[in-house]
Copies of this chain bind each other. A is one copy, B any other.
């Protein structure tokens, strides 16, 4: 693949519109790999040095796009040449990983990132040299390939371990099975790692919004109290920091089903950061933002003011430590938080309080306070939502 072309491609994977167009997406990733392979062959046959150009995944190459309100990858790239002693191995590894993904796409199968490591590992004939010594070598190469080709990992048929559950007034189709998320019992449907349109589709949906909660334990409280039924919504959690599958699903539900997304997270730097990743993407995976970030998401709680407003007892307090303070200030300095007066107030209120609060601490009021009183009130008071 020609250098310039790759670099510019990688900034705008697909068509810029990232939503549910199953048609041809899979072939696109496959075609891109073939294109890369052909460029290597062509360079070699023309006695030029085959190379792969990879956009840099560093903080300095992650920009906040104020207009689109997402974190985007910049234009800085690194080139990996075959005839460079220091880079020949990683070049070879990139080709191997690409070849493994091509095989997966062709056979219509998926594997984990560890699986792809094993699939791509072998001993180079005539030597005792391994193509990969451990998974720490193959994982970054997978990310390289994603950004270089402008294809999501999921489109390359590679997944990470899944986390998170969903239930609510929605029917989905996963691998051809129609799944009624209104009938999911105590624990919901386990959210797949790969929810790309070719393998995961939406059907009937009555829900009017999405409620994202931080953890499975809180999700269970809402599910047991039939919150999603009473409030006609979709209830989802991502087991802490939501994995890519959950983020992609949030994006697709928001984008294709036109559902607003409300987040109920802990009032601590970890909760703020989860919100920030859902909303505008992460620095590490800036190239994914446009297909995962939901800039219109809203933070409905837990807010520092809730302590006074809901007359909570001291039992909810968890003292902030130095790490929390450092992290909170760091977060306020992110370009996407900077200048947001409401967020500054919020974080400073937490620091002045000197304590943080978990969603679960609302149990100190009563078992179902969070589902019957707290969130219903929060949903009404739009002026208290944080952007």
Which residues of A line the B interface, CB within 8 A? 103-104, 107, 109-112, 114-115, 118-119, 121-123, 130, 159, 161-162, 165, 172-179, 183-194, 199-200, 215-217, 220-221, 224-225, 239, 313-316, 358, 360-364, 367-368
Contact = CB atoms under 8 A, between A and B. Distances in A.
B364 A119 contact: yes
Contacts of A175: 185-186, 224
Nearest to A114: B360
Given A110-B224, A115-B360, A118-B361, 12 more contacts: A109-B368, A111-B221, A112-B360, A114-B358, A118-B360, A118-B362, A123-B314, A175-B185, A179-B183, A186-B200, A187-B189, A187-B190
Contacts of A221: 111, 115
Contacts of A121: 315, 364
Contacts of A114: 217, 358, 360
A179 B190 contact: no
Contact of A118 (B174, B185, B187, B315): B315
Contacts of A187: 162, 174, 189-193
Contacts of A177: 183-185
A315 B186 contact: no
Contacts of A130: 315
Contacts of A103: 367
Contacts of A364: 118-119, 121-122
Contacts of A315: 118, 121-123, 130
A173 B184 CA distance: 9
Contact of A189 (B122, B189, B239): B189
A184 B179 contact: yes
A103 to B, nearest CB: 7
A241 to B, nearest CB: 14
A114 B103 CA distance: 45
A239 to B, nearest CB: 8
A115 B366 CA distance: 10
A216 B115 contact: no
Nearest to A239: B161
Nearest to A370: B115
A131 to B, nearest CB: 9
Contact of A192 (B185, B225, B368): B185
A338 B177 CA distance: 46
Contact of A216 (B161, B360, B361, B363): B161
Contacts of A178: 183
A86 to B, nearest CB: 25
A371 to B, nearest CB: 10
A187 B173 CA distance: 12
A300 to B, nearest CB: 20
A221 B191 CA distance: 16
A33 B114 CA distance: 48
Contact of A109 (B188, B224, B239): B224
11 contacts: A111-B367, A112-B217, A114-B360, A122-B313, A172-B185, A175-B186, A175-B224, A179-B185, A185-B192, A187-B189, A190-B190
A119 B313 contact: no
Given A217-B114, A313-B123, A109 B367 contact: yes
Contacts of A358: 114
A361 to B, nearest CB: 5
Interface centre among A103, A115, A159, A178 (most CB of B within 10 A): A115
Contacts of A368: 109
Contacts of A159: 217, 220
A341 to B, nearest CB: 32
